[in-house]
Amino acid sequence: MSIRLARLARAQFPALARLHHGRPLIFFDGPAGSQVPYRVIAAISNYYLKHNANHGGAFITSQESDASTDQARQACADLLGSNDPNEIIFGANMTTLTFALSRAIAQTWKAGDEIIVSRLDHDANVTPWVRAAEERGVVVRHIEIDPVDCTLNLESFHRCLTDRTKLLAVGCVSNAVGTRNPFREMIASAKQVGAWVFLDAVHHAPHLAMDVSAWGADFVCCSAYKFFGPHVGILWGKREHLETLRPYKVRPCPETLPDRWMTGTQNFAAIAGVAAAIDYLSDIGASFGETGSRRQRLWKAFEAIEDYEKQLSQYLLQTIAQAGPFWIYGITEPSRLQQRVPTISFTSRTKSPKEIVQGLAERGICAWAGNFYALPLTEALQVEPQGLVRIGALHYNTFEEIEMFGKALKELA
Ligand SMILES: Cc1ncc(COP(=O)(O)O)c(C=O)c1O
């Protein structure tokens, strides 16, 4: 099943056929952005070829452009598990959407209220809330991590939670060390004190199925460029909040959903590409025998992806451990692979993260070094300013690529 998934996927991604010094480039930079299948490229160029226009006109191209955005919104509702496509908001990226939302939510806070953020999160799910809290005199509490396996310390979380907590902002999956957070349990606890929950699902979306209707959060944000689409941010919010909060928008922008949260002109061509990325994923589900709705096909696709990625995680962990004196940050036990995704960070005793990724780059392997904007984590792990080496596998990566990487890492060690 696993080999079939990677083979099926790879044929659809033109970038994966790219050679560098006569050898195929190896893309382990997925956490910073995935490659895109042909159909995403085709959807974007088709938009410019035939439907390029601004929003809300009476003429044909504007109507087609709006229809294309509506289709993309429905596709996102299916991906996120919402029954209401008007709960889907498009924006430039997750960071920009989160800053905008945090401004609007902060208007409901008063001095002495509290919010909770975590040390495992990308800074895009920390600083927007911290800055908004500063402006309103709101207390910020930080969930500490357990540095041994880079998981959230749940005792610390429960200590942060009080009857003054207004918001819990937490990630679903760490983009730096691949930890899957127990966010459903955390949402249940936050709801007991009446807090709202904002989930950063950016690093969840390429690896695991989403189900906002079941999760019980108030807002969930992700980014299409991490799940095989173009550079577009996606925010889901509960209709009641999206209707009652007051977004920062210009006056001519309609008050109705979803427009009131999408002030200014959107990247309509890229939004057309988002629908194509989701259809790429749902077609994986169809290839694995699911003939039902797009939502059902997406579930099936993520079943196959999760299963394969567990094997990739195990092989990557083993490969890094055997390649030399490297220190892996995060969950490493084979019995706990369901608690992580194949995003694996490490340091070397002899070389800096930058030197390692430079050596990998010379061998045709794309990977990142640094803090990946998960600055609260790299600070907590005391690896600043050099940070970590991060290898991120997606379902289009293969065991052969991991073998090549292992060889390269041995040479560098
Ligand atoms: C977990 C996580 N959250 C948020 C972001 C920020 O997303 P964007 O680039 O869409 O602003 C990233 C980007 O790497 C991320 O990995």
Interval 283-316: pLDDT, tens: 999 999 999 999 999 999 999 999 999 999 999 9
> How far, in Å, from the CA of 346 to the mean position of ligand 1?
20
Query: What CA–CA distance (Å, rounded) separates 235 from 107?
Result: 19
> How far, in Å, from the CA of 122 to the mean position of ligand 1?
7
Mutate to test the pocket of ligand 1, among 90, 202, 220 (most ligand atoms within 8 A of CB): 202
215, 183, 115, 176 alpha-carbon torsion, rounded to 10°: -130
Sorting pLDDT into bands at 50, 70 and 90, what band is 3? confident
Residue bearing tokens 């127990």: 182
> How far, in Å, from the CA of 322 to the mean position of ligand 1?
31
Query: What CA–CA distance (Å, rounded) separates 123 from 112?
Result: 23
CB 208 within 8 A of CB 173: yes
Domains of the chain: 2-36+297-412 (3.90.1150.10), 42-278 (3.40.640.10)
- DSSP letter string, 111-124: TT-EEEEETTS-GG
Instruction: Please state, as a whole number, how many other Cβ atoms lie within 10 Å of the Cβ of residue 57.
Output: 12
Query: Of 242, 260, 238, 241, whose CA–CA distance to 251 is shortest?
Result: 260
Query: What CA–CA distance (Å, rounded) separates 276 from 245?
Result: 31
DSSP-derived pairing of the beta strands 19-20 and 326-329 = unpaired
376 CB less than 6 Å from ligand 1?
no
Query: What CA–CA distance (Å, rounded) separates 30 from 25?
Result: 13
> How far, in Å, from the CA of 59 to the mean position of ligand 1?
36
Mutate to test the pocket of ligand 1, among 29, 95, 343 (most ligand atoms within 8 A of CB): 95
Sorting pLDDT into bands at 50, 70 and 90, what band is 44? very high
Query: What CA–CA distance (Å, rounded) separates 66 from 312?
Result: 40
CB 379 within 8 A of CB 401: no
Specify the residue with its C-alpha closest to ligand 1, atom 14. Answer: 32
Whole-structure pTM over 0.85, yes or no? yes
> How large is the average pLDDT for residues 67-87?
98
Interval 209-227: pLDDT, tens: 999 999 999 999 999 999 9
Which tokens go with 314?
């195990």
> How large is the average pLDDT for residues 146-172?
98
